[in-house]
A and B are shown apart, each in its own frame.
Chain A
Amino acid sequence: MNIVVCVKQVPDTWSEKKLDPADNTLDRGATDPVMNEMDEYAVEEALRLQEASGGEVTVLCMGPESATETVRKALSMGADKAIHVLDPGLHGSDAVATSLALAKAVGTTSYDLVLLGSESSDARMSVLPAMLAERLGIPQLTFAKEVTVDGSAVKIKRLTDDGYQAVEAQLPAVVSVVEKINEPRYPSFKGIMAAKKKPVETLSLGDLGIEAGDVGLGGAWSAVESFEAAPPRQAGTIVKDEGDGAAKLAEFLASKKFI
């Protein structure tokens, strides 16, 4: 079974994120980049499925030059090879455009399963897996807390608001995972050394047959008109409980008409 696993490079969750006033996109220079945490779980799941049923694991990442670090990390965890979609024309792509580039890149491989994280920590849209399935014309099994492949069928438990749904489909399919699914491994020293020799194919828009006008800032189907810092929260009142903490808190809640 051949698996493509999509990983995104994002600003470290702890670093402060800003928009670049020049073009209203994320100011990536202002932050330390890391692999989107949720995608580590997707890579781990890909490796576990490979251990069970063979085949190849290909990492797919669309992002700037610096995203090679994220690609290397996935390879050092154990993936076999990688595709890095890299083109200055992709800067400012929205989810619609990103799903186009990822779908075209997936199309260059022979795949049975496409694995993704269920959310990127910067965009936080949770739409790419569904959009990718739409573009590839294959089933989507998203928000999986458990995945099993049984012959040509794939089954997941999809996390829902009040429990889970059992969902099944025929391969090939798109699966996105939540962090309950496994515990990602750390790259070993051997893995890190081996990753340096693994093939990374870099694909441009031209290689993928994508028109420049369909992606990037110019190709986006929605546009940021303006942004501003939210009004700062008023510094709150903090009291130390000296037996009267509850009474003071109740007073506050009453003043706000909650009780």
Chain B
Amino acid sequence: MAEILVLVDHADSDVKKVTLELLTLARRLGEPSAVFVGNGFDSAKDRLAEYGAAKVYVADGDDMSSYLVGPSVDVLAKVLEDAGSVAAVLLSSGAEGKEIAGRLAIRTGSGLITDATDVTSSGDGLLAEQQVFGGSTVVRSRVTTGTPIITLRPNSTAPEAASAGADRVDVTVELSDAAKGARITDRVVEEKGERPDLSGAAIVVSGGRGVGSGENFSVIEALADALGAAVGASRAVTDAGWYPHQHQVGQTGKTVSPQLYIAAGISGAIQHRAGMQTSKTIVAVNKDPEAPIFELVDFGVVGDLHQVLPALTDEVTKRKA
């Protein structure tokens, strides 16, 4: 079976859920091999084995994480060159995954498809499905030149375990000058709580200007905690400094596609919708019955979020007990 490369998305060897999704998808298309760039393979190995990586190409060393994007491009290009016939390279549709994919496409003369929501075998190739224009149009495309390089949105495939060896194959690369152009001199984590990561969360509870203040965001957090959800925010909120920017959902924030998205006090501006419109189930609480967010919802409550949310939190806690 043809080999499918999956670039492992990890932070200090902590493998992100999207990688497990990509491995699951890769198993439907061929034989999945993971590519691990950076230190920490030993602690990641079990997860990769559990989700079916037959082989793991490993390129470690401090240099691999000292530069932006470039090292992963060099490593993937080398693996492609050495491995011979690879049917596709799958990456996560995060900022970095897409940049790596873009550069790899040019380096290897390969076509690129970003933000796919599914990939299937079709004819003698792969067909990628994308949802464009805020989810209003479904597009199916295929790569016609080189090795298909495809980035997938988190939450597009449900991860399923299937054990395999995750056998280590060392990759030795001398980083190119291009890879060492942009040096990362500092990493600042502005806030990292106990809540799930926004991009991969199954449930997201987001607050907008209607929440009223930074302190009031506790009503959003309380509901999120009751549901085991991540916290999101509109730009009005992050601009006002009520909540950190990394929680912003929308065109210039994160694109999320959870099973359930709850928007409270958010009007539903086009730029906000761009980041959440493909969520499976959408719920809104807004006191204005004319708010455009109601055009998208599966269930909407016209009312004051300061009344509805705390009552809902109690109800959820009660039912879960």
Which A residues fall within an 8 A CB radius of B?
13-14, 16-19, 38, 94-96, 99, 119, 121, 124-131, 133-135, 137-143, 155, 158-170, 173, 178-180, 220-230, 233-234, 236-241, 245-250, 252-254, 256, 258-259
Contacts and interface: CB of A to CB of B under 8 A. Distances in A.
A127 B101 contact: yes
B138 interface: yes
Chain B CB within 10 Å — which of A19, A99, A223, A236 has the most?
A: A236
17 contacts: A18-B133, A134-B73, A161-B94, A161-B198, A162-B189, A163-B246, A165-B187, A220-B144, A224-B139, A229-B138, A230-B131, A239-B300, A245-B307, A246-B311, A249-B301, A258-B203, A259-B316
Complex A-B, nearest 9 residue pairs according to Cβ-Cβ distance, in ascending order = A241-B303, A139-B181, A221-B111, A246-B311, A127-B102, A163-B190, A130-B99, A222-B111, A166-B186
B98 A131 contact: no
Given A140-B182, A225-B141, A249-B299, A14 B270 contact: yes
Given A126-B98, A249-B301, 18 more contacts: A19-B139, A38-B252, A125-B114, A133-B103, A160-B95, A162-B246, A163-B189, A166-B185, A167-B185, A169-B182, A179-B252, A230-B135, A233-B296, A241-B307, A245-B303, A249-B283, A249-B299, A258-B227
**Interface size class of chain B, counting residues whose CB lies under 8 Å from the partner chain:** 35 or more
Contacts of B95: 126, 142-143, 160
Contacts of A227: 137-140
Given A221-B146, A225-B142, A236-B300, A163 B182 contact: no
Contacts of A159: 245-246
Interface string B74-109: 000000000000000000001100111111011101
Contact of B69 (A138, A140, A236, A252): A140
A160 to B, nearest CB: 8
A158 B182 CA distance: 11
A130 B112 contact: no
B188 A158 contact: no
B265 to A, nearest CB: 13
A130 B302 CA distance: 44
B24 to A, nearest CB: 21
B299 A130 contact: no
A102 B281 CA distance: 40
Contact of A239 (B178, B245, B301, B319): B301
B260 A96 contact: no
A65 B296 CA distance: 36
Contact of A246 (B106, B184, B308): B308
Contacts of A133: 103, 181
Given A221-B105, A240-B303, A158 B143 contact: no
Contact of B140 (A137, A173, A224, A247): A224
B103 A131 contact: yes
A67 B208 CA distance: 35
A229 B131 CA distance: 10
Most chain A beta carbons < 10 A, residue from B98, B103, B148, B304:
B103
A38 B271 CA distance: 12
B148 to A, nearest CB: 8
A87 B319 CA distance: 63
